[in-house]
Chain A
Amino acid sequence: MYDSVIDPTLGPAGDARGRTALAPRPGDLSGLRLGLLANTKRNAEEFVEEVAGLLESQHGVQKVLIRKKPSIVEPAPPEMLEELRAECDVVVVGVGDCGSCSASAVADGLQLEEAGIPAVVIVSDAFRVSADAMATLQGTEGYQYVTTPHPVANLSRQGVRDRATAAVPEIVALLRGPNVAPAS
């Protein structure tokens, strides 16, 4: 899984990675099934849980699934992505609070989009470089994600809550509307 997603030296000769076709966006989040995909970094799960609570109370989504990836380095296993695809209408992925986990979070987001599920990835702002590199590697330069100040791992629960509250408007905007810059 990792090899084919992250290693740009693999794949058939001449195999150009096409731009990921993003999923159609819902106009309204009310009643939609929300999935959460967290990594094992400290506060990642708490962050997406706080986001879920706000999306439920403010926008009427229903949290139906949360999954934690076994590795921060690698994208989510195929069976985990399939479960999210089958049971959720929209997915929040996070938090990319290190070099490898920000890159793999973007890879996860793009795989969900390719599977037809609108997804929003949360990355801490110190790791834009690796997040953008993964988007470019996946052929989707300009892929938009939500940033939160670095670090996330040392925050108290209230600190996580505050960050989630600040991030929700952009998360909602990206779930509802286009989440990629025009191809150059």
Chain B
Amino acid sequence: MSVDQKQLDQLKQTLQADDYRMDVDVRGDSADVAIVAGPDACEECLVPKPLMQSMLGPVLGIEPASIRLVYPTDGPGADVTTS
């Protein structure tokens, strides 16, 4: 499967509404996704990681468990594999 760019853009726009940016790096059957907070981001406004992974899976064409997701609250050196 390939990335659904239209849906990915919609998801990014949703995050932007809460002042977050999403960086996506797809490599084969896995992906690294980092959510970056802007100055007006509300920490609680991000959906829980499992839900974000379930949203990203069909958009990226990757099993949710193979998406390494980093949230702003994870901090440097955090274990990014959540599934």
A47 CB-CB contact with B under 8 Å = no
What DSSP secondary structure best describes chain B's contact surface?
Answer: helix
Tell whether A73 pairs with B48 under 8 Å between CB atoms, given A8-B54, A9-B83, A129-B11.
Answer: yes
- Total A-B pairs, Cβ < 8 A: 64
> Whose C-beta in chain B lies nearest to the C-beta of A130?
B47
Instruction: Please tell me the number of chain A residues within 8 Å of chain B, measured between CB atoms.
Output: 23
- CB of A134 within 8 A of CB of B44, answer no
Residues in B neighbouring A98, C-beta threshold 8 A: 17-18, 42, 44-45
> Whose C-beta in chain A lies nearest to the C-beta of B16?
A126
Residues in A neighbouring B64, C-beta threshold 8 A: 8
Mask: chain B, 61-79; 1 = CB below 8 Å from A; 0 = not: 0001100000000000000
- CB of B14 within 8 A of CB of A127, answer yes
CA distance A151 to B17 in the complex (A): 8
Instruction: Please tell me the number of chain B residues within 8 Å of chain A, measured between CB atoms.
Output: 20
CA distance A73 to B48 in the complex (A): 8
B15 CB-CB contact with A under 8 Å = yes
- CB of B47 within 8 A of CB of A100, answer yes
Interface residues of B in 30-56 (CB under 8 A from A): 42, 44-48, 50-51, 54-55
Q: What 7 pairs across the A-B complex have the smallest Cβ distances?
A: A98-B45, A126-B17, A7-B50, A129-B14, A133-B55, A99-B47, A100-B47
Question: What is B's interface to A at a CB cutoff of 8 Å?
Answer: 10-11, 13-15, 17-18, 42, 44-48, 50-51, 54-55, 64-65, 83
A2-B48, A9-B65, A100-B48 known; 17 new pairs, CB 8 Å cut-off, are A6-B48, A6-B50, A9-B83, A71-B44, A72-B45, A98-B17, A98-B42, A98-B44, A99-B14, A99-B15, A99-B17, A99-B45, A126-B17, A130-B14, A133-B54, A134-B51, A150-B17
A-B contact pairs, 16 of them (CB 8 A): A6-B47, A6-B48, A6-B50, A9-B83, A72-B44, A73-B48, A98-B42, A98-B44, A99-B47, A128-B14, A129-B10, A129-B55, A130-B55, A133-B47, A133-B51, A137-B51
